[in-house]
A = this chain, B = another copy of it.
Amino acid sequence: MTRSEENYIKTIFHLGRQGMEAVSTNAIAELMETKPSSVTDMIKKLSEKDLVNYKRYQGVSLTDLGTQTALGIVRKHRLWEVFLVEKLDFSWDEIHDIAEQLEHIKSDKLIDRLDKLLDYPKFDPHGDPIPDKNGDFKERDRKLLSEVEIGTKGVCVGVKDSSASFLKFLDRNHIALGHQIEVLEIEEFDGSLNISINQNNMQISHQIASNLYIKINEQ
């Protein structure tokens, strides 16, 4: 598989996660910053190789083979992200672009040894699950902070938006994975929240809350 084919497969995988229907040509083009006509060309090629199901004008979805392929790439991307943070002291906002390159390195042995070096991590630095050798992973039971009710207590376990600008914002405001969060108040007017995080009280916009995942504490 070429690098470009791998990038398309990965994009279709990510778009296919939310919303269970077939993925649209335009959605792929937008996420990949390319043109719809280019997407159509590539989809045909992927279809030839039995990586996607495709009928003209009907959108596209991954086959089982395509899904396995995607999981392999996602596994590599996330393991390299862990490596960059754990072994090379990168911060979570610097790693995505480098992992975009590293995810295309071809060597099963390499990735399995890396997995071992990192002690078989289950989640990447943004809280996303890492598929194992066989493509299996458990999606963590988590909710967007914007969708829980007043009084909810939980721990911050992930981000939905993992752009550098959002991650840097979280750093500046001392919001990090693993922190305890309690929702104290929800403002009717603009949906902003008053929360306590790590013992500190702060006000965050709906926008922020809708990009933070928490795991609600068992009581």
Contacts and interface: CB of A to CB of B under 8 A. Distances in A.
A102 interface: yes
Contact of A90 (B101, B106, B113): B113
A105 B110 contact: no
Contacts of A107: 97-98, 101
A190 interface: no
Contacts of A105: 98, 101-102, 105
A117 B84 CA distance: 11
17 contacts: A84-B110, A87-B87, A88-B110, A88-B113, A88-B114, A88-B117, A89-B113, A90-B109, A90-B113, A94-B109, A97-B107, A98-B105, A98-B107, A98-B110, A101-B106, A101-B107, A105-B105
Interface string A76-102: 000000001001111000100110011
A105 B105 CA distance: 9
Contacts of A97: 107
